[in-house]
Amino acid sequence: MMKTLQYRVTFTTPAFLGNAEQSGQWRTPPFKALLRHWWRVAVAESHAHEWKKIREAEGQLFGNAWLDSGTTKSLVRMRLSDWREGSNGWHKLPGIGSKNPVAADLYLGYGPVQYDRRIGTRLAHGSAIQAEGSATVRLAVPEEHEDDIANTLALIDQFGTIGGRSRNGWGSVSLEPQDGTPELAVDAGKFTARLERALQRDWPHAIGCDDRGGLLMWQSEAVANWQKAMTQLAQLRKNLNSTFKTNRHWLNYPVTKHDPKNWGNKRLPSSLRFKVVPASNSKVKALVFHLPCLPPLDFSPNRTELVTMWKRVHEFLDDDQHDIQRKPA
């Protein structure tokens, strides 16, 4: 038996979902990838955090071509209401930093956002899905998997971002149930791991929490629009990179300056993620959360060093001088 779920998907910030021409367009593949990503977090504990078991269960549910049982089709079906393209309008953000200021949208969106000497920042590939853009997504889910999928969708509503530079807050999505679909509700505290434990595995499997069990999440006060929230996040990212120069390679890699490792073409995405979430009265909030995990072994990670460094980052974020504060559990 299949259960049908329907949601209105709305972007809180512009999204860079490139089609074959790298132009922004509503497409199901990125949403399917988003669903699988947060499904792993939702089911990690029930599978004892064993990657092989999770990957096998994922293949059986979402389809695969690698299991010994042979190729299978996805048991979860997804349909978007339309596949329209985005638009080429762009809201330029102010500069951050007092010395050699850089545009906030370029700082957080380098690649999809480029700098043009004549006009300033612009879209690199012609179009993006704009903030407040929305569409309807319908899911058909086997009833025996309904609870896990419901938890996954609730996590996406709280933490999900999609598309290019999404870890920096671009492509922040919110989900609104429609047509009798149950409300999204989940306690994020059920999907957590203390920092030391989370750094024992090299894939994102839980929201981080500190030694007292407090969630590693911070949020700003409500601001008028996504432009202000993204500017706050850009300034925060710049402050982090400036403060942790000697450890910046663990925050994300490659590093433009102050690179002590010279890892060449290696890539290490940030496990400290940003999102812009809706607030009351049509306002929004900037959200920061940590999804800690061990860097791949070819980076030769030292767990003791990483624990010490990340605790310093968390203390930095707890400091009252920033525009964010710990989000209550």
Which two structure tokens, joined as six digits, stand for 23? 């132009």
Q: Name the phi and psi angles at 5, rounded to 5.
A: -125, 140
Quote the Cα angle for 124-130-133, to 5°.
Answer: 150
At residue 148, the pLDDT reads: 96
Which two structure tokens, joined as six digits, stand for 294? 């061990």
Per-residue pLDDT of the chain (329 residues; tens, 9 = 90+): 899 999 999 999 999 998 877 788 999 999 999 999 999 999 999 999 999 999 999 999 998 877 666 668 899 999 999 889 999 989 999 999 878 899 999 999 999 999 999 999 999 988 999 999 999 999 999 999 999 999 999 999 999 999 999 999 999 999 999 999 999 998 888 999 999 999 999 999 999 999 999 999 999 999 999 999 999 999 999 999 999 988 888 998 888 766 667 777 888 999 999 999 999 999 999 999 999 999 999 889 999 999 999 999 999 999 978 889 998 76
Closest CA to 208 of 232, 223, 191: 191
Taking CA atoms, 103 is separated from 10, 53, 92, 212, 256, in Å, by: 25, 44, 8, 38, 16
Which two structure tokens, joined as six digits, stand for 300? 């030769």
Domain residue spans of the chain: 2-87+129-186, 90-126, 189-326
Contact status, residue 10 vs residue 131, Cβ threshold 8 Å: no
Closest CA to 5 of 182, 185, 186, 187: 182
Q: Specify the amino acid at residue 246.
A: T
For the entire predicted model, the pTM comes to 0.95
CATH architecture of the domain formed by 2-87+129-186: 2-Layer Sandwich (3.30)
At residue 100, the pLDDT reads: 85
